Structure 1
Amino acid sequence: MRINSLDLNLLIVLDALLTHENVTRVAEQLNVTQPTISNALSRLRLHFKDELLVLVGRRMVPTPLASRLRDPVSELLRQAQRVALTRSSFDPAEAETDIVIAASDYVVDALVLDVQRELLHRAPRINTQIVSLSAAVRQQFAEGKLDLMFHPPEFVNANDHFETVFEDKFVPVIWERNDAVGATLPLDAFQSMPYAAIEFGESSHISQSDLYFSRAGITRNIRLRLPNYINLAAAVIGTPLVASLPWLLARHWVGKGLRVVKPDFTFPALPEVMCWPAHLNDDPGNQWLRGLVKDKAQRLQALIDAAFSHP
């Protein structure tokens, strides 16, 4: 590389000459021949229009200009070495940045808020924005404008970087005072009861449970459609409605207006996938954040597995 016609590699030779003041020692240090060092010195003299080092007896003595160059050249090479050794690093306690996470209200409640609590303690200078899933948000993710996005695997694109972080299970919920249903919910009762369904956003995506029921040929008497799980849970209270909620969310409503009943037919699972942009795949900060998410998600998975370990 050249700056103002100076080959910067020559500065390595100049620094060594100013340190040792001996061509032979410099040649040995740099593992080159003495003529190579002499040629480099000639080029340096030509550029600076100065002798730089003058032979006095057996010793090469720097000129006044060379003496002035000694410290700047040495510092420049040290800086260059530091740049060459620089690697990406991340200290959560010192990091100052903004992150954007996209997730459904259910995943925010079950996982993301717990991650955010940890961030406040371990990375107090990181600012977090949590946004709801939508077509516009998915486009922002495709453009690399988000840090993480959570959704079911059906929405993963071919080029996405992703990992399944946990798998919840849907459960049927009813109002806790609905005496028409016992501890077990038969299929025919489920199909005849008024049903509250989910339709997400402007594109009206249905929930994974309703997608499963449709594919399995299980009909529902849909009487109410709502845009998120939190509204869905609240809407069932005080009504004869039945709804399908992820267990991680439903457990918080037990004793607060809802009752979970056991179906005598198969209810679907709900895997959740964490996606991140390709350009952040090797970023230490994003890797640390993903590790934090996975740690929290593993604890959730242990709760889910324990809850469904007995028939």
Structure 2
Amino acid sequence: MRFNKLDLNLLVCLDALLTECSITRAAERVHLSQSAMSNALGRLRDYFEDDLLVQVGRQMELTPRATVLCEAVRDVLVRIETSLSAQPEFDCTSSSREFKIFVSDYAMEVLMPEALALASRQRSRVRWRLLPHTPQPARALERGEADLLVVPQAFCSADHPTDLLFHDEFVCAVWKDSSHARVGVNAQRYANARHVVMQPVDADQPLFDSWFVQQCNIHRQVEVSTYSFAMLPFLVVGTELIATVHACLARRVEPALPIVLMPMPVPMPSIEMAMQWHRYRTRDPGLLWLRALLREAAGRVFHAMPVSAPPAAATRPGLAPVV
């Protein structure tokens, strides 16, 4: 099929080439031979009158024209895929659909076990693919690499719909035999202490908690950084370190660890967690089921805690979108 003299089958090849910046990997992505992909690139170059991919050293890079085409081509393919895969109804007991969800290890720990248990009670046969966040999670939605994101409300893209799931507070976690446990943690001791913090891979911007304490003119002395929220309470054991941890996560591990949880010594807004999906998939029956399931799971975990009026949350563009 052709549109404006372009063979529309070439759009799939073009998307793979623009994504992989490699003829070999693009061929593998769409299950073609390398020679067939090379031929497709040649035809695309003729149509667009542009090289699209050029060799720079040992790598291939996109031309300016190819860079402009990236999002438009992916958007067209996502629309087509959404239309073709749409079903009039969804039955979790017979569907083997795989849902791809981008979720941090924090949300994995506090939310997903309850969600999976609920799905099991419904005799669901769906498959779950739980994936780590990327520095730009909204891009995963737009490229069709994720069905759903579970992210802080402040980091949701304005281009796609969201639904607030729950909010959580922050607490300080310290070793039970530390000086902090004996005398307490006030703002001065918090500022003077050594800290263990979570710093996501490939993210240069500070997380919400790091940014907020800086707004209170507190600059923490970071002795240990890790890529995992769940490990923060474990890493304070046997040390004088302080970890600033999501309260729900901290309370889950508190019985198993020799730690003490203390209120934050400075007022800190709660973190609002939301789910986000592609605007083209708002009426997808499968995603409607999934979103309802996650809402119910969040309500059970947080004991139906109202999420409509949590303490005002501070937001700031450029915070690392991994919480």
TM-score, normalized by the shorter chain, greater than 0.5: yes
Structure 1 counterpart SS, 2:139: helix
User: Is 2:200 the partner of 1:200?
Assistant: yes
Per-residue deviation, residues 186-213 of structure 1 (Å, max 9, x unmatched): 1000011111111112124433211211
The alignment of Structure 1 onto Structure 2 pairs a total of residues equal to: 221
Deviates more, 1:161-170 or 1:149-158: 149-158
Residues 195 and 242, structure 1, Cα contact 8 Å, conserved in 2: yes
Query: In the alignment, what sits opposite 1:289?
Result: 290
Residues 100 and 147, structure 1, Cα contact 8 Å, conserved in 2: yes
Query: In the alignment, what sits opposite 2:321?
Result: none
Report deviation, 1:303: 7.2
**Matches of 1:203 and 1:241 in 2, distance apart?**
23
**Matches of 1:214 and 1:282 in 2, distance apart?**
41
Task: Give, as a single letter, the amino acid of the residue that structure 2 aligns with 1:242.
Answer: I
Query: In the alignment, what sits opposite 2:247?
Result: 247
Per-residue deviation, residues 137-175 of structure 1 (Å, max 9, x unmatched): 542222133121111122211111111110000101101
User: Is 2:254 the partner of 1:224?
Assistant: no
Distance 1:98 1:87, change over 3 A: closer
> Where in structure 2 are there 5+ consecutive unaligned residues?
1-85, 311-323
Distance 1:175 1:87, change over 3 A: closer
Task: Give, as a single letter, the amino acid of the residue that structure 1 aligns with 2:288.
Answer: Q
Query: In the alignment, what sits opposite 2:266?
Result: 265
| 1:1-311 correspondence runs (5 A) | 88-135=88-135, 138-182=138-182, 184-255=184-255, 256-302=257-303
Structure 2 counterpart SS, 1:297: helix
Residues 183 and 261, structure 1, Cα contact 8 Å, conserved in 2: no
Task: Give, as a single letter, the amino acid of the residue that structure 1 aligns with 2:212.
Answer: Y
Report deviation, 1:279: 2.1
Structure 1 counterpart SS, 2:301: helix
Structure 1 counterpart SS, 2:230: helix
TM-score by length of 1: 0.65
Residues 199 and 225, structure 1, Cα contact 8 Å, conserved in 2: yes
Residues 150 and 272, structure 1, Cα contact 8 Å, conserved in 2: yes
Bigger radius of gyration: 1
Task: Give, as a single letter, the amino acid of the residue that structure 1 aligns with 2:271.
Answer: L
Distance 1:145 1:123, change over 3 A: farther
Per-residue deviation, residues 47-105 of structure 1 (Å, max 9, x unmatched): xxxxxxxxxxxxxxxxxxxxxxxxxxxxxxxxxxxxxxx98111111112111111110
Report deviation, 1:112: 1.6
Report deviation, 1:123: 4.5
**Matches of 2:159 and 2:180 in 1, distance apart?**
49
Structure 1 counterpart SS, 2:199: strand
Structure 1 counterpart SS, 2:106: helix
Residues 149 and 274, structure 1, Cα contact 8 Å, conserved in 2: yes
Distance 1:208 1:88, change over 3 A: same
TM-score by length of 2: 0.63
Report deviation, 1:224: 1.3
**Matches of 1:159 and 1:282 in 2, distance apart?**
16
Residues 171 and 260, structure 1, Cα contact 8 Å, conserved in 2: yes
Distance 1:196 1:265, change over 3 A: same
Residues 174 and 180, structure 2, Cα contact 8 Å, conserved in 1: no
**Matches of 2:202 and 2:277 in 1, distance apart?**
23
Distance 1:200 1:158, change over 3 A: same
Distance 1:225 1:112, change over 3 A: same
Identity %: 19
> Where in structure 1 are there 5+ consecutive unaligned residues?
1-85
Structure 1 counterpart SS, 2:294: helix
Q: Which has the higher strand share?
A: 1
Distance 1:96 1:253, change over 3 A: closer
**Matches of 2:217 and 2:189 in 1, distance apart?**
15
